Amino acid sequence: MKVRLTNLQAETVTPTGAAILKGLNAKQVSNLSMKIMKTSIGCGTKNFDIPNILRAILFQPNDYYIREKLAVLSCNLDDMTGELMGNAMEELFDAGALDVWFSPIMMKKSRPAYKLEVLTTMHQKEAISKVIFEQTTTLGIREQIIDRKSLKRKMRYHKTELGSIRIKEAYLGDKKINQKPEFEDLKALAKKKGVTVRSLNIK
């Protein structure tokens, strides 16, 4: 908890007050977008050279996004076949990875290789690390903790002349800014009707 010294020759924060702030895990924030819900002001009885008041504000953050801490696990692979890397990707998704991707890189001794990166929740990162060690030839994993912002999403069913499909909607705050049919539903519908996905005209 941050402390700032003043020129006042008196106690400005009681031990009880400091303990309450510490117990509430109080943090100093800036540039926070918020909606003020309630405000209250209390006045002390001692006379100082500055106003002896305490203001408390109850606010609600303007959550335009979903904010979360995630982990990115990565390793370099120069001795695995494409088949094994593809299988490792499938195993990682089955284990609950949020995303998995490979990037071509050049390593020491001019060896072409691939960098495996896996996006996972904090809760799942140890289980995902175990899968990486089991399914790849790496001897070590790098771990990076990141902050992610993502749009709020809703799923709704939409009836068409060809059948029912799911529509994924994206929201910035309360405003819908994008929507898109689920591709797997389009594939299933196209297969059922004996047509190509490109030929579907969803209305």
114 domain-assigned: yes
Task: With a cut of 80, say whether residue 175 has pLDDT above it.
Answer: yes
> Which pLDDT belongs to residue 15?
87
- Same domain for 92 and 136: yes
Q: Is the pLDDT of residue 6 over 80?
A: no
Instruction: Mark whether 94 and 106 lie in a shared domain.
Output: yes
pLDDT above 80 for 27 = no
CA 174 – CA 171 distance, rounded (Å):
6
Does residue 75 fall inside a structural domain?
Answer: yes
pLDDT of 154 above 80: yes
Whether residues 44 and 105 share a domain: the answer is no
**134, two tokens:** 């089991």
**pLDDT for 82 beyond 70:** yes
Average pLDDT, the chain: 89
pLDDT for the residue 37: 87
Residue 166 lies in a domain: yes
Q: Are residues 136 and 96 in the same domain?
A: yes
pLDDT at site 33: 66
Helix axes of 125-135 and 82-94: crossing angle, nearest 10 degrees: 160
For 190, the 3-state DSSP assignment is helix
116 and 83 inside one domain: yes
Total of domains in the chain: 3
CB-based contacts of 69: which residues, under 8 Å, 6+ apart?
Answer: 122, 145, 146, 147, 148
Query: CA 131, CA 92: separation in Å to the nearest integer?
Result: 7
pLDDT for position 174: 84
Evaluate whether residue 180 is within a structural domain.
yes
Residue % of the chain over a pLDDT of 70: 93
Q: What is the pLDDT of residue 32?
A: 62
% of the chain exceeding 90 in pLDDT: 55
Give domain status of residue 40, yes or no.
yes
CB-count exposure of residue 113 (10 Å: 0-12, 13-18, 19+): middle
For residue 27, the enclosing domain spans: 15-61
Q: Is residue 174 part of a domain?
A: yes
Contact 72, 117 (CB under 8 A): yes
* Three-state secondary-structure class, residue 40: strand
The answer to whether residue 10 sits within a structural domain is no
- Among 30, 61, 92, where does a domain finish? 61
Whole-model pTM? 0.65
Residue 91 has pLDDT above 70, yes or no: yes
Flag whether pLDDT at 31 surpasses 60: no
Same domain, 73 and 127: yes
Asked whether residue 30 falls in the same domain as residue 99, the answer is no
> Could you tell me if 157 and 93 lie in one domain?
no
CATH of the domain at 76: 3.30.70.1380
